[in-house]
Amino acid sequence: MDAVEDIKNRLSVEDVIGDYMELKRAGRNFRGLSPFNSEKSPSFMVSPEKQIWHDFSSGKGGNMFSFVMEMEGVDFRGSLEILAKKAGIDLGVYQKNDGKYRQQKEKLLEAVELATKYYEQSLLKNQLALDYVLKQRNFNKETLQNFRLGYAPYSGSALVDFLKKRGIAEDIILKAGLGSRQYRGVADMFRGRVTVSLADPQGAPIGFTARILSNDIDAPKYINTPQTALYDKSRHVFGLHLAKDAIRRSGFVVIVEGNLDVIASHQAGIKNVVATAGTAITQYHLKALHRFTSDIRLCFDQDNAGINAAERAISVAQGAKVQLSIISIKHSKDPDELIQKDPKLWVEAIEKPQYALDWLIDRYSSLFDISSARGKKDFTDKLMETMTYLEDEVERDHYLMKLAELLAIGEQAIRTKLDVFSELKKEKQPKKIIASPEQNIVDPYMYQDQILCLLVAFPITRRLLETETTPLNFNSPHRQRIYDYIQSNPHSSLNENTPKELQDDEDYVKILLFKAEELYNRFDSNERLRELRDLIHKLTKKYQKDQKTQLTEEIRNAELVGDEVLVAKLLNKFNELLKKE
C-alpha cells in the first residue's frame, strides 16, 4: 500500500515514539525507558537512520506502525489510520478504484524515467547545451551521468510526442508535470533549458529543475516540476541519494541554495552536500536529513535574500533536535563560484561553521541599537525564542553570560526573561501521552535474535555453520527465514540492502543490524565466534528439550489409546534424541 510509504516519508519514527515517551539522544540513536517493563536504566532504542525501534528488555521491536499497535492496542489497520491522521494523509485517496492509485504512481515514475533518458540523449545532440555544462559550468561526463543532466529541446511538444509513442497517456504526462495543457493541445513543460533530474532518496527520477539557456530577461532563470504525486518541493532534498554515504562517513551534511552548487561540490569530491528547492527549509527537510546526522550546516548565497533565508531556517530548526550551524564564505557569492576558484577554500569553509545561535547574535547585533533600552529589548526578544530550546545547562549559562556581557546588564535579568519565554513555550506545547508499563513482558527466545545478529552483521561468523551437522531450528517463521537465507547464501551481505527474498522481513533485518551494532561492535572476531558458539549450543539444547517434552506427551497419548506401533515409533525418536546429548 502506497499510504504506508507516504506516511513513512512524512513522519519520523523518533517523532512518533516521542509523542508517547521521553527520548534522549544517544549518539546517532535515541534512548528511553522501556514502556513495556519497569526499569531504571534505559534499554529502549530508536534508530532514525534505519527508522526502527527495539526494546532490549522485552525483545520487542519494529517500525512506527508496530509501535503504535503496541501502545494503542490496535491492529495494523488501526495504526495506519492513527498515523495517517498525524501525517495529514487521506487514506481514502489510496483505497479508491481497487489499487488504481498504485498503478498510476508506477506510470508516473515510468513517464519521468523516460523523460530523463530523452533529455539525456537530447543534451548530447545540442552543442549550445553541451558547451554550457562542459565549458561554462566545467562539469565532466561522469558528473553529467551521476546527476542525469539533460536538455529540453526548444520545441512545442517534442517530449510529449516521444512519450505518447512510448505508450504514456496524455493524462499521465500532465499529472507527472511533464506537460501543460494549451489551446492547441498538450505542450512540453520545459523548453530550451538544461534539465537536472530530481530524484527520490533511492535515486528514481521524480521531476526536474530546468535552467534557461537564452538571454530572455522576461523568462525565469529556473523553473521546477510543479507539485505532483511524486514531487513535493517542501519535502524533497536534492542530491540525497548520492550524498547519503558521505553524510554517514563525515557525520555532517551541508545544505546549499542551488542544485548546481551541489553538483559542483560533488564533482570536487565533497559529497556530503545537498540542496532544497530555493531557500525554503522545512521541518520535513530537516527530518529527512536527521535520519543520517544531527549536524546540519547551512550555506546560502551571501546576499540579503540568502542571509534572511538562513535566519528563517534557524527558526524552523528549533525543536527539530538538530545542531544547526551557518557557513559563511568570503570573496565569492556562492559555493559554485568558490569551488571554481579553489575547492580547498570550500573545504576550509565547511569545516569552520558558526553555531547558529552565535551567528544570530552577530546578525541581530548589527540590526538593533543594543546601546539603547529599546534596542536591548528587541534584541533579546528575537533571541529568546531560540534560546528556550537549549536543553544543556552549561550551554544555556554560557549564552546567558555572553548576552549579559554584550548588553552590559545583569545576568539575572536575562535569566528571568528566558524563564518567562520558557514558560510560555510550555503552555503552547501539547501534552505527551504517557503509556502505562506492563510488567514482565519478555520474549524467552531473544537469544535467537542474538544468533541472527551475529550471522547477519558479521559474515565471518557464518563459518561456524559449516560445522553444524544438522540445520538449526528457530521458534518463529521470520527467524527461520533469515537463517535459511544465510545458509543458502553464505557470502551475501545484508548490511546495505535487504535481498528480494527477505523483503517481507526488511524491518526485522534492520533490527538485527541495529542490535548487532549495540551488542557486538566492541567485540573482536574471536569474541563474536565464541558468543555465537555458546548461543548455538543453547539453541540446540533448548530445541532438544522441547522435542523431548513434545515426544513424551505424544507417547503418553499413544499409550492411552493403546497404539503400540505408534508408541514404539515415538520411543525410537526419543532414544535418537538422547544419543545426541
Question: What span, in angstroms and rounded, lies between the C-alpha atoms of 303 and 46?
Answer: 40
Classify burial at 441, counting beta carbons within 10 Å of its beta carbon; exposed 0-12, middle 13-18, buried 19 or more. middle
Question: What span, in angstroms and rounded, lies between the C-alpha atoms of 15 and 13?
Answer: 5
Half-sphere exposure of 193 (CA within 13 A, CB side): 22
Question: What span, in angstroms and rounded, lies between the C-alpha atoms of 21 and 432?
Answer: 7
Q: 100-224, what's its fold?
A: DNA primase DNAg catalytic core, N-terminal domain (3.90.980)
Amino acid identity of residue 315, one-letter, is: S
Query: Which residue from 156, 279, 284, 179 is spatially nearest to 226, judged by alpha carbons?
Result: 179
pLDDT score of 429: 57
CA dist 167 to 131, 171, 180, 192, 575, Å? 33, 12, 18, 24, 68
Determine the 3-state secondary structure of 238 from DSSP. Answer: strand
**What are the residue boundaries of the structural domains of the chain, listed by start?**
2-95, 100-224, 240-352, 368-428, 446-580
Quick check: 472 and 483 in contact, CB under 8 A? yes
Quick check: 170 and 164 in contact, CB under 8 A? yes
DSSP code at position 96: T
CATH architecture, domain 240-352: 3-Layer(aba) Sandwich (3.40)
Beta pairing partners, 238: 275
Please report, in tens digits, the pLDDT of each residue of the chain (581 residues total): 478 888 888 888 998 998 888 888 888 889 999 888 777 888 899 998 888 999 988 888 889 999 998 887 777 888 888 898 888 887 776 665 546 667 888 899 999 999 999 999 999 999 999 999 999 999 999 999 999 999 999 888 899 999 999 999 999 999 999 998 876 788 899 999 999 999 988 889 999 999 998 877 778 888 999 988 889 888 899 999 999 889 988 989 999 988 999 999 999 999 999 998 766 788 888 888 887 888 999 988 766 777 777 777 877 776 667 888 999 887 788 888 899 999 999 999 999 999 988 988 888 888 889 999 998 888 888 888 778 877 778 888 898 999 989 999 988 988 888 888 877 766 655 554 444 444 445 677 788 888 888 888 888 888 888 887 778 888 888 888 888 888 888 888 887 677 888 888 888 888 888 888 888 888 888 888 888 888 888 888 887 887 878 878 888 877 777 778 787 887 787 777 676 66
Q: Alpha carbon 452 to chain centroid distance?
A: 25
Question: What span, in angstroms and rounded, lies between the C-alpha atoms of 226 and 241?
Answer: 21
Amino acid identity of residue 142, one-letter, is: E
- DSSP class per residue in 419-456: HHHHHHHHHHSPPPPPPPPPTT---TTHHHHHHHHHHH
Half-sphere exposure of 490 (CA within 13 A, CB side): 8
DSSP code at position 205: E
Query: Which residue from 244, 261, 149, 249 is spatially nearest to 202, judged by alpha carbons?
Result: 244
Question: What span, in angstroms and rounded, lies between the C-alpha atoms of 468 and 451?
Answer: 14
Place of cell 522481513: 505
Assign residue 284 a region: left if phi > 0, alpha if psi is -120 to 50, beta otherwise? alpha
Specify the pairing of strand 44-47 against strand 253-256.
unpaired
Q: Alpha carbon 361 to chain centroid distance?
A: 31
Query: Going by C-beta distance under 8 Å and a sequence separation of 6 or more, which residues neighbour residue 198?
Result: 205, 206, 207, 208, 209, 224, 225, 231, 236, 238
Instruction: Count other Cβ atoms within 10 Å, centred on residue 337.
Output: 16
Q: Considering only the top CATH level, what class is 2-95? A: alpha beta
pTM beyond 0.75: no
Question: What span, in angstroms and rounded, lies between the C-alpha atoms of 336 and 259?
Answer: 10
**The CA-based dihedral angle spanning residues 43, 49, 50, 53, taken in that order and rounded to the nearest 10 degrees:** 20
